[in-house]
Structure 1
Amino acid sequence: MPGDVHVYVLGLAPGPAYCRVRRQFLAPGVGMEQRLYRIVEDFARFFASAWNNRPAVEQPPGLLEEYYEFLDQVSQRLPLSERLLAKVDEVRQGLPLLFRPGYPVVVQHDDLLENNIHVDEATGRVTGIVDWADAIIAPFGVSIAGLETVLGVQTLTSWHLHASHYSIRQRFWETFYGEIGDISEEDRRSIEVARLFGLFWTHGFDEKVRAIAALEALCPL
């Protein structure tokens, strides 16, 4: 006799993928801008949930060395400006903060692209984050780089950000820190280092022109 068969049923994430509505969400207008504020608020709560509900996961062995090696490869591969080289050095010096005792290591989405984020077209609320097949275990904050996906559009030679991206970005951080509560300055610095590393991790091995365009636009923010 065959053994038991386990069947798992998953519901579809409601609403369209963000890639299908991004053009209208980034269009000028108060109504569309309010949708972007709602998206980043939900994004902030999504990330905060990982900080507040830390699973008992072990840090992958050799990860710090892998991160150092990755930054070396990016520096050698790309014709980085002095500003970006300074950012690489800043991240390199800050990496040990992400591996100190007490800093959370969590499961993270490693592909937060516009096709993996589903939204309510009428309100801008995030209805689902899909495609977790390539999820990673990493220091908290690396995947926060995915926030840029909802704030602009990348082309081969540029990254076109929404005109109000500074205030929308500020709303993200206000919501995020409101959700996780008071934390130390060292933790805040660690989160920023992780975010910057995530930008290099996401774009460092794109085609060279595309990679430089993204990093020049996003790293200073």
Structure 2
Amino acid sequence: MAVPSSDVVAPLPDLPSFESSVDDFFIRSGLTLQDRLDCCSFIDGLYPGKSWLIAPCQGYCSLTVFVGDDDVVQFRPGNYRLDIQIVEAAREVYGSFAPDTRHIATLPKSGLLVYCMNKIPGVSLKHIREISTMADGVEYQARLCVDFASFVSRSWYLGSITSIPLGIVGSSITSRLESLSAELPARFRPVAEQTLSQMTLIEALPWVLTHGDILPGNIIVEPSSGQLCGLVDWAEAERLPFGICLYGLEEILGGPTASGFRYHFHATNLRSIFWNELKKQVPELLQAPVMRAVKLARDLGVLLWYGIAFDNGAINRVIQEGRDAEEIRKLDAFLELCVVDAENL
């Protein structure tokens, strides 16, 4: 058996704060044992005497560390850098729902970019679901749905920041939909084709700054009540038609099981709570044509976020049966809902 060189990342039993997800990050990024130690030294130097720990939920493209009760330090390879204009705009549009983020350094040897941000109080919805059944309570879920509607509504009035150019998804929506219509498993293509045929309605909606990854790991809640405290990981945010982010509601209303994605028992009522609150916050949605366009945008968001695979950061391949099981399961659940909505509009 070959002995690994000193440049090969190996587990660090003498650094118990590092977990397997952290090992994966360093291996995936082609970084060394010394690079890992440099991250530790940087934090110790920046916050002398303060305790720090690895965040329990890690993203694919970064290493996130909690320092004390209030601060977050995040390390990112150059190809996953944050767009400071975007994260500043997120703070402007969504207020305390988004962290205040600054680029503070670049580590000289590894080239890792270092960002500092305030810690949004609370825990991730993913974490609370893993450690407690509290998140299954109907009052807990209802509170989260109301707050998520308030979060989404802010972009209708504040999110049209035209100084931000269109991003990867926003500048290629039609071509992506064309690929989805042609290459998705056959049972999903009718929704893609219908959405493509209605693109003029969707494009007429306000184009607003939209969080790019509304998953339970990025949704931060107050653990005892379900109050939405904010969203983290704004790296993929960009300007998109209002409503595209509503695939995130489906992530709130259910979760994966061994047999596929399953909605909570009260999901239908919770969905009504969300839409009623959103219409209260954005009265323009009381107009039937506007509501139809927003629900089409929701369908578009489902197609784009689960119909296009995430391959080590690339988002260019249409998902395939037998290769992308989790995405297929979510499309089965979410697109069935799209068909029901289309029949009722």
For the aligned pair, the TM-score class normalised by the smaller chain equals 0.7 to 0.9
Identify which of structures 1 and 2 has the higher relative contact order when contacts are C-alpha pairs closer than 8 Å and 6+ apart. Answer: 1
Local SS of the residue matching 1:220: helix
Show the 5 A alignment for 1:45-84. 45-57=150-162, 60=166, 66-81=172-187, 84=188
Measure the CA separation in 2 of the matches of 1:180 and 1:14.
Answer: 27
**Counterpart residue type for residue 326 of structure 2:** R
Query: Which one-letter code corresponds to 1:89 in the other structure?
Result: E
Q: Which has the higher strand share?
A: 2
Query: Residue deviations 1:82-133, cap 9 Å, x none?
Result: xx32211221111111223xx3111100101111111011111001111111
Q: 1:158 aligns with which of 260, 266, 272?
A: 260
Q: Closer, same or farther in 2 for the Cα pair 1:160/1:63, shift >3 Å?
A: closer
**Residue type of the partner of 1:43?**
F
1:41 to 146, 156, 168: 146
Q: Distance in 1 between matches of 2:160 and 2:167?
A: 17
Q: Which amino acid aligns with 1:215?
A: L
Cα gap change, 1:208 to 1:75, in 2 (>3 Å) = farther
Contact 2:212 2:236 in 1 (8 A): yes
Q: Matched residues in 2 for 1:147 and 1:62: separation?
A: 23
Question: Does residue 1:12 correspond to 2:119, yes or no?
Answer: yes
User: Counterpart of 2:109?
Assistant: none
Give CA-to-partner distance per residue, 1:20-48, whole Å, 9 cap, x none: 11252454xxxx21000000100000001
Superposition map of 1:69-148 within 5 A? 69-81=175-187, 84-100=188-204, 103-148=205-250
What's the counterpart of residue 217 of structure 1? 333
- Indicate conservation of the 8 Å contact 1:156/1:209, yes or no: no
TM-score after normalising by structure 2:
0.55
Q: 1:62: how far off? A: 10
Query: C-alpha distance in 1, partners of 2:152/2:332?
Result: 25
Percent identical: 25
Query: 1:97 & 1:208 partners in 2: Cα distance?
Result: 30
> Structure 1 156/46 Cα, relative in aligned 2: closer, same or farther at 3 Å?
same
1:189 pairs with 2:292: yes
Instruction: Give CA-to-partner distance per residue, 1:183-207, whole Å, 9 cap, x none.
Output: 4322111101110000011110344
Write out per-residue CA displacement over residues 57-97 of structure 1, whole angstroms, 9 at most, x where no aligned residue.
Answer: 1673997772222123223433231xx32211221111111
Moved more, 208-217 or 53-62: 53-62
For structure 1, which segment, 47-56 or 151-160, has the greater mean C-alpha deviation from structure 2 after superposition? Answer: 151-160
Alpha-carbon contact 1:17-1:118 (below 8 Å) kept: yes
| 1:209 to 1:10, Cα distance in 2 relative to 1, 3 A | closer
Distance 1:11 1:210 in 2: 32
- Aligned-pair CA distance for 1:182: 3.8
Q: What SS does structure 2 have at the residue aligned with 1:42?
A: helix
Bigger radius of gyration: 2
Counterpart of 1:210, as a letter, is: E
More deviation in 167-176 or 144-153? Answer: 144-153
Structure 2 runs not aligned, ≥5 long: 1-102, 105-114, 310-322, 338-345
**1:45/1:176 contact within 8 Å kept:** yes
- Please tell me the residue identity of whatever aligns with 1:52: Y
C-alpha distance in 2, partners of 1:65/1:134?
14
Counterparts of 1:162 and 1:63, CA distance in 2: 30
3-state secondary structure, aligned to 1:50: helix
Aligned mates of 1:25, 1:85 — CA distance in 2: 37
Amino acid at match of 1:186: P
Gaps of 5+ in 1: 1-5
